[in-house]
Amino acid sequence: MEYGKTTGPTVLGLSLRDRLLIIVGAPVLGALLGAVLPPVAGWLADRPWAPMQGPFELIASFDGPWVAVALAAAGLLLGLGFAALALASCLKVTLVDGEIRLDKDGMSRRIARPDVDVVFVDGKQLVILDPASRELLREQHESSPAALARGFQEHGYRWAGQSDPYAELYRRWVPDTPDLPPAVNAVLKARETALKKKQGDDVAELREEVQKLGFVVRDREDKQYWRPLVRAS
């Protein structure tokens, strides 16, 4: 079945400029910091008010041009490691007419085209909903809204821009909300605790538990807002 206007894949994620900035900038910055560390350490070692006197004195005690070279090389390697981690932590979306492939943190998943109802941007997050309005994806994304719109529309996906089609259904959650089943209130209470403790994995897992119970939850700062699915599973 032909869904879109194009047959080739479209890759959405960091722009080429941003990728080059990370790949080149992080190692160069690391190397520069390593190279200037010996004289800076020597200067700080002579300042009684400076913290970490021990490490600064140790670095300043080394002598010879090899010290700056070695530290620059170490900074270069650290910069390369940081660049690799930064690129891996950014969501990459590969679009074809038949599915969406998502890659992040070394993990991949696929969403089949028939499972997708609508796609939109909520702040800095890309959101994909299924026909029951369940969230198949809610992740921060680095592409511009214009690039996302162009990519999804070219492949025939319904794009809602920066407008959540079900925004009016959301209500703020408070403990023991009478309109929610006790099981949902219990999960949202546990999720509130996880949000306060910044336990990202638990927050995501409990979001899925809420959806299994027939509701969707989204966050605004440290507050939770809920709505029912528009169609039961």
Question: CB within 8 A of 215, min separation 6: which ones?
Answer: 180, 184, 226, 227, 228, 229
Q: What is the mean pLDDT of residues 164-169?
A: 95
Which pLDDT does position 40 carry in this prediction?
80
User: Does 154 reside within a domain?
Assistant: no
User: Does 194 reside within a domain?
Assistant: yes
Structure tokens at 97: 């007419």
Structure tokens at 61: 């005690």
Q: How far is CA 226 from CA 33, 120, 158, 179, 217, in A?
A: 47, 18, 23, 11, 4
User: Does 114 reside within a domain?
Assistant: no
Q: What is the mean pLDDT of residues 48-73?
A: 78
**Rounded distance, CA 156 to CA 98, Å?**
10
Residue 7 phi, psi (nearest 5): -105, -20
Reduced to 3 states (helix: H, G, I; strand: E, B; else coil), residue 99 is strand
Split into its structural domains, the chain has a count of: 2
**Nearest of 118, 139, 133, 115 to residue 216 by alpha carbon:** 133
User: Does 24 reside within a domain?
Assistant: yes
Question: CB within 8 A of 125, min separation 6: which ones?
Answer: 138, 139, 140, 141
Question: CB within 8 A of 185, min separation 6: which ones?
Answer: 175, 176, 177
- pLDDT at residue 87 tops 90: no
Domain boundary pick from 88, 104, 132: 88
Quickly state the pLDDT bin for 51 (edges 50, 70, 90): confident
Domain boundary pick from 34, 62, 88: 88
185-217 pLDDT, tens per residue?
999 999 999 999 999 899 999 999 999 999 999
**Window from 39-53, 93-107, 171-185 with minimum mean pLDDT:** 39-53
Structure tokens at 69: 């070279």
Reported pTM:
0.78
**146, containing H or E segment:** helix 145-154
User: Does 99 reside within a domain?
Assistant: no
Query: How are strands ordered across the β-sheet holding 118-122?
Result: 118-122, 125-129, 135-140
User: Does 180 reside within a domain?
Assistant: yes
Between 44 and 92, where is the model more confident?
92
- pLDDT at residue 176 tops 80: yes
CA torsion sign, 20 to 21 to 22 to 24? positive
Reduced to 3 states (helix: H, G, I; strand: E, B; else coil), residue 32 is helix
**Rounded distance, CA 18 to CA 83, Å?**
11
User: Does 177 reside within a domain?
Assistant: yes
The overall average pLDDT reported for the chain is 88
Domain boundary pick from 88, 115, 141: 88
9-18 pLDDT, tens per residue?
999 987 778 7
User: Does 125 reside within a domain?
Assistant: no
Cβ–Cβ < 8 Å for 22, 79: no
Quickly state the pLDDT bin for 158 (edges 50, 70, 90): very high
Range of the domain at 55: 16-88
